[in-house]
């Protein structure tokens, strides 16, 4: 009897021992979990810096050695030329022209898109009537409209503003339209049952519910407004960053062309950060 009890205890102990993982495996799992909690080994900002240094250093080494510097210039010469254009006022004057055209076109296009997108998103009947026409116009390449726009509005800043507004309009419109259309009808009915007016439905239900869509449209349209403005300046203008790109490109001045492109990169990055900051502030209520 005693021997049977001891044998059963031995089997139980052996099963418990076989279930437990080896000490090495447990230590490895703990290390992985600790690493996940502590984050990546290399911080994101440091990895970005490393990639930038590798890219710029490789470009500098390749210029004149692997590739003729006439084609790609070099980061050192581009930096010097960028500073020269900045000091003599060439960049600042033309940056101001481009940014003003982008901002005005963006505001005009965004306001028109928000109003029409809300109106059609709230009215299924009119949406079914008008939306196919807007989709058809959206399928037309915007560059193909520039010859007509030159006839209608002329050349220069007014053309850049018009192209910027058109690009902004379509992106913000579609996001607003689909965002308003996807709002839950149940929420709208609850507000109406409680005696809410059309204004209450708009302010308290439709716009807050669709604001994620609207914010995405704004974030996408602001860089596109810059693209449209620069395109118009390259084709029919004597001012702006787009004009400088065309001017130095036609002069086969690679270094100056890259310097202006660097200015465009900075402007585009700042506009994107601005749109991202505004979107985050506007959507802060979703995290509360």
pLDDT tens by residue, 72-111? 888 999 999 999 999 998 999 999 999 999 999 999 999 9
Judged against a pLDDT cut of 70, whether residue 3 lies above it is answered with: no
Confidence of residue 288 (pLDDT cuts 50, 70, 90): low
How many structural domains are present in the chain?
Answer: 1
In this structure, is residue 225 part of a structural domain? yes
Our measurement of the distance from residue 82's CA atom to the centroid of its chain's CA atoms, rounded to an integer in Å, reads 26
Judged against a pLDDT cut of 80, whether residue 59 lies above it is answered with: yes
Q: Which residues contact 238 (CB under 8 A, 6 or more apart)?
A: 156
**Residue 100 sits in which domain range?**
77-287
pLDDT value of position 28:
62
In this structure, is residue 165 part of a structural domain? yes
Domain with residue 226: its CATH number is 1.10.3720.10
In this structure, is residue 6 part of a structural domain? no
In this structure, is residue 150 part of a structural domain? yes
In this structure, is residue 159 part of a structural domain? yes
pLDDT value of position 8:
54
DSSP state letter for 202: I
Judged against a pLDDT cut of 50, whether residue 13 lies above it is answered with: no
Q: What are the tens digits of pLDDT across the range 240-251?
A: 999 999 999 999
pLDDT value of position 2:
47
- As a whole number, mean pLDDT of residues 226-237 equals 90
**The token pair that represents 83 in the structure block:** 């500073």
Our measurement of the distance from residue 27's CA atom to the centroid of its chain's CA atoms, rounded to an integer in Å, reads 43
Share of the chain above pLDDT 90, in %: 36
In this structure, is residue 138 part of a structural domain? yes
pLDDT value of position 183:
75
Q: What are the tens digits of pLDDT across the range 165-220?
A: 999 999 999 999 888 887 777 777 777 777 777 777 777 777 777 788 888 888 88
In this structure, is residue 66 part of a structural domain? no
Judged against a pLDDT cut of 80, whether residue 256 lies above it is answered with: yes
In this structure, is residue 158 part of a structural domain? yes
Q: Extract long-range pairs of 283-287: CB within 8 Å, 24+ residues apart.
A: 283/211, 283/212, 283/215, 285/208, 286/212
pTM of the full structure? 0.77
Q: What are the tens digits of pLDDT across the range 30-49?
A: 555 555 555 677 788 888 88
């Amino acid at each position: 009897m005693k021997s049977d009890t001891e044998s059963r205890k031995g089997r139980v102990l052996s099963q418990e021992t076989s279930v437990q993982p080896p000490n090495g495996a447990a230590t490895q799992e703990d290390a992985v979990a600790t690493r996940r909690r502590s984050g990546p080994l290399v911080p994101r900002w440091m990895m970005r810096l490393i990639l930038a240094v590798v890219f710029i250093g490789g470009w500098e080494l390749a210029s004149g050695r692997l590739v003729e510097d006439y084609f790609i210039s070099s980061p050192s010469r581009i930096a010097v030329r960028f500073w020269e254009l900045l000091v003599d006022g060439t960049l600042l004057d033309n940056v101001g022209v481009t940014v003003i055209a982008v901002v005005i076109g963006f505001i005009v296009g965004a306001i028109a898109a928000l109003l029409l997108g809300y109106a059609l998103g709230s009215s299924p009947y009119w949406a079914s009537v008008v939306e196919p026409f807007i989709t058809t116009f959206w399928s037309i390449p915007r560059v193909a409209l520039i010859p007509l726009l030159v006839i209608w509005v002329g050349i220069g800043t007014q053309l850049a503003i018009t192209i910027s507004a058109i690009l902004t309009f379509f992106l913000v419109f579609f996001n607003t339209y689909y965002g308003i259309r996807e709002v839950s009808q149940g929420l709208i009915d609850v507000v109406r049952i409680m005696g809410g007016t059309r204004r209450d439905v708009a302010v308290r239900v439709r716009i807050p519910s669709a604001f994620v869509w609207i914010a995405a449209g704004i974030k996408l349209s602001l860089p596109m407004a810059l693209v449209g403005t620069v395109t118009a300046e390259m084709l029919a203008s004597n001012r702006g960053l787009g004009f400088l790109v065309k001017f130095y490109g036609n002069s086969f001045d690679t270094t100056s062309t890259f310097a202006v492109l660097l200015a465009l990169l900075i402007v585009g990055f700042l506009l994107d950060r601005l749109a991202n900051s505004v979107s985050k502030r506007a959507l802060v209520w979703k995290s509360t």
